[in-house]
Amino acid sequence: MLRIDILTLFPEAFSGYLEHSIIGRAVQRQVADVRLHNIRSFTHDRHHTVDDYCYGGGAGMVMKPEPLFEAVECLRGEIGADHCPVVLLTPGGRLFTQEIAGSYAALNNLIMICGHYEGVDERVAEHLVTDQVSIGDYLLSGGEPAAMVIIDSLIRLLPGAIGSETSLVEESHVGGLLEYPHYTRPPEFRGWKVPDVLLSGNHKEISDWRRRQSVLRTARRRPDLLGKAELTDTDLNLVKSTDLNNN
């Protein structure tokens, strides 16, 4: 079973999520073993100091290296694996993707460090962690929401986490395209109709329609993804022959 150890200044920030989400219920069913650790409990001074001023000046505090080294070394001993990946969550890391989620989901253990304040002492990045990850090009006040995003994306890949396995395969960002539109009953709502093809019962036409929707939606909203997506000649012709600003 995948064991995830999270080092954070705010372990309570995870409780609502881990208690009530679909992912949280998967954790309770022991699909994964998620453990929270307060970085403050790896300090030894009276004030449980985890941060300090920035050498060279500048606004904001920096997370001290000692508690993080001590915490990770303690966990490594406990886990006892010869390879123990340690991920620092920081806006300066490489961009987290579905591919990285897949590679983490294949591990036996993963330690995540939630960065805070203006940053983390660079010696942590250089000599303690094996990977640095960001969840997007915007600034968060701490790594906790990023850790929840990553836990979610990776636990749902584990066997037994989600109802049906097929719903995983078809979803957005696998195969590199955005998902096609979904509809449920009623067939007409406030005058807006479900596309006829979806009610036709013709499976070939339905899957062709969905493919075209995925391709065009990706071309319109996320043209940056098209280069990496696996496109057929039919897909490419569709993109070429469609005015992406209309229909």
Nearer to ligand 6GU, 115 or 176 (CB): 115
**How far, in Å, CA of 195 to CA of 61, rounded?**
55
Name the token pair of 70: 């001590």
Write out the binding residues for ligand 6GU, residues 39-58 only, by CB under 6 A: none
**How far, in Å, CA of 204 to CA of 206, rounded?**
5
Distances (CA, A) of 122 to 43, 44, 74, 130, 132: 19, 21, 20, 13, 12
From residue 136 to residue 165, what is the string marking binding to ligand 6GU with x (rule CB under 6 A)? x-xxx-xx--x-------------------
Nearer to ligand 6GU, 39 or 219 (CB): 39
**192 is an interface residue for ligand 6GU by CB under 6 A:** no
Which one of 7-15, 103-111, 135-143, 182-190 is the stretch in contact with ligand 6GU (CB under 6 A)? Answer: 135-143
Distances (CA, A) of 116 to 18, 128, 232: 21, 16, 45
From residue 63 to residue 102, what is the string marking binding to ligand 6GU with x (rule CB under 6 A)? --------------------------xxx-----------
Nearer to ligand 6GU, 91 or 175 (CB): 91
Nearer to ligand 6GU, 29 or 94 (CB): 94
Write out the binding residues for ligand 6GU, residues 98-127 only, by CB under 6 A: 115
Strand intervals (E) in the chain: 2-8, 32-38, 51-53, 61-63, 86-95, 109-114, 119-120, 131-134, 188-189, 192-193
Nearer to ligand 6GU, 119 or 219 (CB): 119
Which one of 132-140, 177-185, 199-207, 210-218 is the stretch in contact with ligand 6GU (CB under 6 A)? Answer: 132-140
Produce one character per residue of 220-231: b if its CB has 16 or more CB atoms within 10 Å, e if not.
eeeeeebeebeb
Tell me which residue of 177, 162, 158 sits closest to 236, measured CA to CA. Answer: 177
Name the token pair of 17: 């999520």
Nearer to ligand 6GU, 141 or 245 (CB): 141
Residues at the contact surface with ligand 6GU, assessed by CB under 6 A: 89-91, 115, 134-136, 138-140, 142-143, 146
